[in-house]
Structure 1
Amino acid sequence: MGGLREERAVALLRGLGAERVPHPGGTLLAHLGRVRDLLGAWGARPELRLAGLCHAVYGTDGFPTALLPLGRRAEVAEAVGAEAERLAYVYASCDRGVSYPGLGAEGVFRDRFTGEERRPGAQEVRDFAELTAANELDLARTDPVFREAWGGELAALFRRWEGLLSEPARRECRAVLGG
């Protein structure tokens, strides 16, 4: 992808210590780069690829290590742009237990930071699903223990979300998780 926003994002992530945070497949920074690259291989637009690069900066429901507190969101927005930061925040803020079951089917999205529940728009739901697939597929690819523990559940989730995912993402889900 390249570009100034990506360079600024990587510099920010390095400055926050992402290359020193252990993560399946190496470091958090390596994982974030692989998620960005996978989204790029699927043809995602720049804002979604940048969100993939920063998706865990605030921690996630599945990875609680936050590189930045929420009060510093403006720093991420300055590096990657407002839309990419917003997408990264949406991903990080997702209360998975509440949000995953109804995603794409008039279900609610719950923000785990604020407790707010809302119904996201169609594009936001597709972006969220695509970013989720890229994140989880990278974990399944790089960590056999993760794949063994969660592969079946993820395969079922991505089958339910099939209409939300791009064709390249659907193919990758089948290749990594089976089915």
Structure 2
Amino acid sequence: MDKFGMLQELGAGDFHHLNGSLEAHLKGTEKVLINWGSSELLKIAGLFHAAYGTAGFDENMVSLSQRQEIARIIGNDEEALVYLYCSCDRDYVFPQFGKVLEIQFKDRFTGSTFTLDNAMVKLFCELTVANELELFSSSEEFKLKYGAELFELFQGMDIYLSPGARNAYKSALSNFA
């Protein structure tokens, strides 16, 4: 059984998402990362990036109380990145990109704040761009509503992105430049 199937056995639900199912979006995000030649850690995190819900998507596939079980299935580093992504207080974190060198992270579940190290900032930004571009590619409404905002955010993240992510966002969002 694949890792996604194991999560479903733990009770991970599939939900309606922007343009279909959450599972389709998660698999689409993983495919974006595969196309960029991303690390195995990023590809797995992409497949599970909304497991605990996100600031933009409140439904959660699994409970935070299942973190250890999830880590056993997908790996400790992968689960830590998934948790980081899900726990991000976007209103606090996103405005910092392009303005400060040290990104202060705020966990929306606990309220705690801490400085993200450069390696985690890179992983977080790569996952963010992959997620948003997957949504962007599947919804005309999403494009029109968030295109300019995403272009500005990704420009702020630019120094942290791989060439694949950088080229993808510049190509997809060129009309919003």
Q: TM-score, normalised by structure 2?
A: 0.92
Identical-residue share of aligned pairs (%): 37
Out of 70, 76, 79, which is 1:76 matched to?
70
Query: Equivalents in 1 of 2:88, 2:24: separation in Å?
Result: 22
- Tell me the amino acid that sits aligned with residue 37 of structure 2: G
**1:88-108 CA-partner distances (Å, limit 9, x unpaired):** 000000000111122462131
| Residue 14 (structure 1) shift | 3.4
Pairing of 1:129-140 with structure 2 (within 5 A): 129-140=125-136
Counterparts in 2 of 1:17 and 1:70: CA distance versus 1, 3 Å: closer
Contact 2:122 2:161 in 1 (8 A): yes
Q: SS of 1:64's equivalent?
A: coil
Q: Can you give the 5+ residue segments of structure 2 that lack an aligned partner in the other structure?
A: none
Q: Can you give the 5+ residue segments of structure 1 that lack an aligned partner in the other structure?
A: none
Pairing of 1:159-170 with structure 2 (within 5 A): 159-170=155-166
- The alignment of Structure 1 onto Structure 2 pairs a total of residues equal to 172
Query: Equivalents in 2 of 1:52, 1:111: separation in Å?
Result: 19
| Residue 17 (structure 1) shift | 4.8
Contact 1:14 1:29 in 2 (8 A): no
Query: Equivalents in 1 of 2:62, 2:15: separation in Å?
Result: 13
Out of 85, 106, 113, which is 1:110 matched to?
106
**2:24 paired residue number:** 30
- Tell me the amino acid that sits aligned with residue 40 of structure 1: I
**2:168 paired residue number:** 172
Contact 2:52 2:86 in 1 (8 A): yes
CA root-mean-square deviation: 1.4
Query: Equivalents in 1 of 2:18, 2:167: separation in Å?
Result: 23
**1:12-65 CA-partner distances (Å, limit 9, x unpaired):** 3433354x4111232100110111111111111101110111110100000000
Deviates more, 1:37-46 or 1:57-66: 37-46
Q: TM-score, normalised by structure 1?
A: 0.91
